[in-house]
Amino acid sequence: MSQEGAEVSRRKLFGWAGAGVALAGAGAAAGVGVDRLGTASASTSTVDFHGEHQAGIVTPAQANLHFAALDVTTSDVGELRQLLREWTDAARRMTAGQQVTADGAVGGAAEAPPTDTGEALDLPASQLTITVGFGPSLFDERFGLAAKRPPQLVDLPVFPKDKLDPARSGGDLCIQACADDPQVAVHAVRNLVRIGFGVTQVRWSQLGFGRSSSTSRAQQTPRNLFGFKDGTNNVKAEDTDVLRDQVWAQAGDGQPWMAGGTYLVARRIRMHIETWDRESLAGQEQIIGRSKGSGAPLGQTGEFDPVDLDVAGAGGVPVIAEDAHVRLASSQTRGGVRILRRGYNFVDGSDGVGHLEAGLFFLAFNRDTRTQYIPMQRALSSKDAMMEYVQHTGSAHFAIPPGVTPGTSWGDGLFA
Amino acid sequence: MSQEGAEVSRRKLFGWAGAGVALAGAGAAAGVGVDRLGTASASTSTVDFHGEHQAGIVTPAQANLHFAALDVTTSDVGELRQLLREWTDAARRMTAGQQVTADGAVGGAAEAPPTDTGEALDLPASQLTITVGFGPSLFDERFGLAAKRPPQLVDLPVFPKDKLDPARSGGDLCIQACADDPQVAVHAVRNLVRIGFGVTQVRWSQLGFGRSSSTSRAQQTPRNLFGFKDGTNNVKAEDTDVLRDQVWAQAGDGQPWMAGGTYLVARRIRMHIETWDRESLAGQEQIIGRSKGSGAPLGQTGEFDPVDLDVAGAGGVPVIAEDAHVRLASSQTRGGVRILRRGYNFVDGSDGVGHLEAGLFFLAFNRDTRTQYIPMQRALSSKDAMMEYVQHTGSAHFAIPPGVTPGTSWGDGLFA
């Protein structure tokens, strides 16, 4: 049997059941070490790179993130297409716990630069996932891709109170690497950046930790830097109907090549934690709309109790305030709209005036950013009581193409 | 028996054997999860906070670092002394896996700000250590401490090729928090910073991962972002004679209150990884003086084989080059001088011109920086072939006072 034949057989074996495939592998892995939110001892596991969808979306969120946005510096579309082939091959190997190439960091010729940078040599796969996307700016006149631009991939508007830094926003391409070991995630981004030398360059990059949303019911809900559980009502890997309706692009959505893909909104949200820490416990809970300890919606007792926006307290005033975050972001308020969040906490040194430069690197996947993220963020940025304590300092939007098979590349649909 | 009595008994039980105490606890913990360099599944363990020396020095290096340098903003020496008492109490609790106070994030009055910020509520101790130090600038006229300044705590010179950023250098105080979970380390620093509100403010802070030196023979040697094993010949927790001679300050060293303490040099070293990655394998190995795969010194076969600087290759040229890092930094070249390194890798976003802002946050402990770190760094910065690929962008020096007992504070010796 030829190698291609073997790949086809393997593909049939797994049935390309999309979320099912990713979930089976990753869910099992997450079960290994649930003592530390499912992340501590699961590090030797691999997450299947192939599938209907890219890994790193419904994969139970790993402990660490390295995200990079890149600009394409070549005007040769053939170089861009070739880069996407090379990235796919390298990611296929690295997510399997292998080096970038068979020669790797130490197996090549002594006179040549090593083809792997080596800092992950002794480390296991650590559930590494690598997810790649295309920014709106990629679909300009440079590469003749304007006709392939998905209508969902709009330029994000500037929302009220945004204070965006151009050096932390935008990008022609993105790489999201998640792993249970930060060195493995850093190694993955670094080596893809290196492969792209002369074709792309890093526009900005962001490290994150403490994943600020769980994406599977097998995971405990983590806490953000406000000290609150975050992502209780997130779309989870197990919610296959919601994923189909609200996360995965469908064939009739406008650009058939995006079917099985999704749209990623990345927002760097600075959190003024010093100011937050001076707010009373009751004040914090009113702003969020949940209990800080249990995570239960105000008026309820358990974290996963349904949010009831109508519970009235003293004098008929709603227990969950009109400007509470959970009210404004809830699918009830938003006409049933949901998004899949997959953010990470960050601390990027200090801000030069005595405070930590800390916050949430918000990552969310949705099927149509125009009707999901944008209206939600419009409401939040103008009404949310939490806006007093946060500031959006970076913003980007990417089309995440569908998953690949053993013989295909991330760029195949784009260049078909 | 009074609480104090119980503490005394406990102290006697453990015998305050200094490095021995720290080693027994931490060494055992590191043995739990050696699959991932001893860090993965050891996260529920605690490291004893009390002892002759502070924890976080010979403690087997945890996976993650949050380091902060602070300036004192009060001129009231009583406030400073009180802060050090409060920091000690809070650190005693947090390193035991407890919240900052008994009330904590959710147990206090609803009308008051919580006394713990809450983001570590569901997380185990994760081998958290908190280590505190005093910078040279603390010993100025503000607090009447000039006569207490240790002669070893010099202002570090500017070394050749330094490109120091004042915003990443210096500081009156430092906090080093190490843990196997970055959120636990971040929580520790944030809460100490918060306790210091009105007395101190953050001057700079640095996150790190992938600990770039092992500090115990129970740990595998990790790799730095040049892809090389780093710290093979580091002073280890087991080297009690070397620790006494070269790391721990002794009673006769000048300031008796520093006995059992040590001196910490912190250097933020930007690594030009993109340039390094274009160097050949042979070139990289010549610069380091070791094999990239095994870590063996050039001319030897095993990582832990003694470095032999005299092995000659073709034409009598030394196999380990005259400007190789391992030669210049070796204790043989340095007249027997050694230091205890405890650095971490970092990636702080990108540099704005297309590269990752990556490097090594170098932390080293020595008994006398004047005769140990400074001469070594003078030699390296002027001769080391590696200097072509690195740049020191931050620099700080701190006196690390000795450890505390259950009834004492980090400031007791300073203010005695």
Tens digits of residue pLDDT in B172-203: 999 999 999 999 999 999 999 999 999 999 99
Inter-residue contact B152 to B168 (CB < 8 Å): no
Reduced to 3 states, what is the DSSP secondary structure of residue B404? Answer: coil
Q: Which of A347-351, B36-40, B77-81, B198-202 has the least mean pLDDT?
A: B36-40
Distance CA(A63)–CA(B110), nearest Å, equals 32
pLDDT of residue B211: 78
Q: What are phi and psi of B313, to 5 degrees?
A: -105, -150
Residue numbers of B between 285 and 304 with CB closer than 8 Å to A: 285, 291-293
**Which chain A residue's Cα is nearest to B113?**
A280
What's the average model confidence in pLDDT over A228-253?
Answer: 95
What is the mean pLDDT of the segment spanning A164-180?
97
Q: How far apart are the C-alpha atoms of B75 and A269, rounded to whole Å?
A: 35
How high is the pLDDT of residue A345? Answer: 98
- A293 to chain B: which residues are within 8 Å by CB? 105-106, 121
B103 part of contact set with chain A, CB < 8 Å: no
Give me the residue from A112, A345, A354 closest to B183, CB to CB.
A345
pLDDT beyond 80 at B9: no
- Using the Cβ of B234 and the Cβ atoms of chain A, whether some distance falls under 8 Å is answered with no
Best mutation site among A356, A357, A361, A393 for testing chain B: the one with the most B CBs within 10 Å?
A356
pLDDT score recorded for residue A20:
32
Radius of gyration from C-alpha coordinates of chain A: 21
A203 and B350 Cβ atoms separated by less than 8 Å: yes
Q: At residue B217, does pLDDT exceed 70?
A: yes
Residue pair A284/A226 in contact (Cβ under 8 Å)? The answer is yes
Q: Indicate the average pLDDT of chain B.
A: 90
Average confidence (pLDDT) over B362-380: 97
CA quadruple A233, A234, A240, A245: dihedral sign: positive
Structure tokens at A210: 């403490």
Show the 3-state SS of A363-383: EEEECCCCCCHHHHHHHHHHH
For residue A36, name the pLDDT band (cuts at 50, 70, 90): very low
Cα dihedral across residues A359, B126, B413, B367: positive or negative: negative
C-alpha B232/C-alpha B290 separation (Å) is 10
Q: Confidence band (pLDDT; 50, 70, 90) for B314?
A: confident
d(CA B195, CA B132): 14
Nearest to A35 among B44, B112, B348 (CB): B44
Cβ partners under 8 Å of residue A316, min gap 6: none
Average pLDDT over residues B160-169: 96
Q: Is A345 within 8 Å of B227 when comparing Cβ atoms?
A: no
d(CA B408, CA B260): 15
Sign, CA dihedral B149-B150-B151-B155, equals: negative
| Cβ neighbourhood burial of B201 (10 Å; 0-12, 13-18, 19+) | middle
DSSP 8-state code for residue A154: P
Tell me how many residue pairs between chain A and chain B have CB atoms under 8 A apart.
237
Predicted local distance difference test score (pLDDT) of residue A1? 31
pLDDT of residue B44: 74
Looking at the predicted structure, is the pLDDT value of residue A9 above 70? no
Position A41 pLDDT exceeds 90: no
Q: Please report which helix (H) or strand (E) contains residue A26, including its range.
A: helix A19-30
pLDDT tier, A43 (very low <50, low <70, confident <90, very high otherwise)? low
Q: How confident is the model at residue B214 (pLDDT cuts 50, 70, 90)?
A: confident
Average pLDDT, chain A: 90
Q: How many CA atoms lie within 13 A of B225 on its CB side?
A: 33
Average pLDDT over every residue of A39-68: 88
Closest by Cα among B401, B35, B37 to B216? B37
| A292, B104 Cβ separation under 8 angstroms | no
- 3 state SS of A59: coil
pLDDT recorded at residue A34: 27
Residue B79: pLDDT above 80? yes
pLDDT value, residue B213: 78
Question: pLDDT tens digits, residue range A109-150?
Answer: 999 999 999 999 999 999 999 999 999 999 999 999 999 999
CA distance to partner chain A, nearest, from residue B405 (Å): 30
The average pLDDT across A223-249 equals 95
Alpha-carbon distance B241 to nearest alpha carbon in chain A (angstroms) = 31
Q: Residue A44's pLDDT band (boundaries 50, 70, 90)?
A: confident
Residue in A with minimal Cα distance to B347: A207
Closest CB from A64, A194, A348 relative to B349: A348
CA–CA separation, B187 vs A266, rounded Å? 24
Residue of chain B whose alpha carbon sits nearest to that of A344: B183
